[in-house]
Amino acid sequence: MKPIDKRSDSRSIFIAATPAQVFAAMNDPERVARWWGPEGFRNTIHQFDFRPGGTWLLTMHGPDGNDYPNESRFTSIVPAELFEIEHLSGHHFFLSIELKTFEQGTQVHWRQTFDTVEHYERIAEVVAGANEQNLQRLAAEALVSGNAAQSFHRAGSTGKPADPAHVKY
């Protein structure tokens, strides 16, 4: 099998919220439905068994009027640190979302890994745009949880609070 970096889309975003606040946007199916997928998509979550081995079934409703059923399995979950799934329907891939604590918020690292370089290369451009939009939507949802940056500052950050509207891409 080829090295993981040749068959993966990897990207990061800094969010001015605690890892717990970001994770809260990732473990609540109502909140996930608001941010999951590229811009213009809506989601209906049918099952969200948020535990290792649990099933996640959703239908993504595209702006083109088509429905896209998805089935995934949660492979690893570490509260406020890690969210991993194996996507089982359509394009097969593994998705890892890691959260790292920083003084002013959370660095989110997203890595979507496909089985082969050839598979990834065929869809890389679409995947890159969709993943960037996913991260932007996750950031917006994480910041909805009250004044995220102010909450982070009160929770013990030693730096001055970041502007909660400021999200670096």
pTM of the model as a whole: 0.84
Query: Has residue 100 got a pLDDT over 60?
Result: yes
DSSP labels for 77-116? EETTTEEEEEE-SSS-EEEEEEEEEETTEEEEEEEEEES-
User: What domain count does the chain have?
Assistant: 1
Domain range spanning residue 95? 4-37+77-154
> Does residue 64 sit in helix, strand or coil?
coil
Question: What is the structure's pLDDT at 6?
Answer: 95
Could you tell me if residue 42 is inside a domain? Answer: no
Query: What is the per-residue pLDDT across 7-53, written as a single tens digit (0 to 9) for each?
Result: 999 999 999 999 999 999 999 999 999 999 999 999 999 999 999 99
Question: What is the structure's pLDDT at 169?
Answer: 26
Could you tell me if residue 138 is inside a domain? Answer: yes
Could you tell me if residue 61 is inside a domain? Answer: no
Could you tell me if residue 105 is inside a domain? Answer: yes
Could you tell me if residue 82 is inside a domain? Answer: yes
Half-sphere exposure (Cβ direction) of 107: Cα atoms closer than 13 Å: 7
Could you tell me if residue 86 is inside a domain? Answer: yes
Query: Has residue 161 got a pLDDT over 50?
Result: no
Could you tell me if residue 18 is inside a domain? Answer: yes
Mean confidence (pLDDT) of the chain: 88
Query: Has residue 144 got a pLDDT over 70?
Result: yes
Chain mean position to CA 123: 19
CATH code for the domain in which residue 139 is found: 3.30.530.20
Could you tell me if residue 139 is inside a domain? Answer: yes
